[in-house]
Amino acid sequence: MLTDAQKTIVREVCSIQFNSLSDILIKTDLGEDDQGERYEEILADMGFGRKEFDKELIKTILEFEGLNDDPEKVFELKELDAIVFKHILHNFGHRWENRFPKALSNLWDKLFVWTISNEIHNKN
C-alpha cells in the first residue's frame, strides 16, 4: 500500500522518534516544566515513578522499531502513537517536501482516509 518513498518517510519519522525517546531515556534528570515544577514530581503526582515512565518509553521505542521494520504498520498504530507520528510528520515535513512531494502528500491522504475509516468503524 505504501510506495518506496513513503516507506522512506515512515522510517525517517521513526528515526526522529528513536532519537527523541532515547535522549529522554538516558537522562538521569528530566528537568522541569515552564512553571519550574520538576517532571519527576509531576510523574509522582500522576501515581508513578521514573521506572514506570522508562518502561513506557521502552514500549514506545519497540512500537516504533516495529514500524521501522515494517512501515505498513503505520496503519496499525495505537491512537497516541498515531498522533505522535502525525505530529512528527507535520513538524518535520520540510525534510520531505522537496525530495518526495507527491509521496508526502499521498501519505497524508492515506493517513486521513485510514483515520476516518477507523472512526467510522469504531462508531458502529
Cell of 52: 514506570
Give the Cβ contact number of residue 90 at 10 Å.
9
In this predicted structure, what is the pLDDT of residue 28? 86
In this predicted structure, what is the pLDDT of residue 121? 75
Per-residue pLDDT band for 124 (boundaries 50, 70, 90) equals low
Counting the structural domains of the chain, the total is: 1
CB-count burial class (<10 Å; 0-12, 13-18, 19+) for 8: middle
Give the domain extent around 64.
Answer: 4-123
Residue 18 pLDDT greater than 70, yes or no: yes
Q: How far apart are CA 88 and CA 2, in angstroms?
A: 18
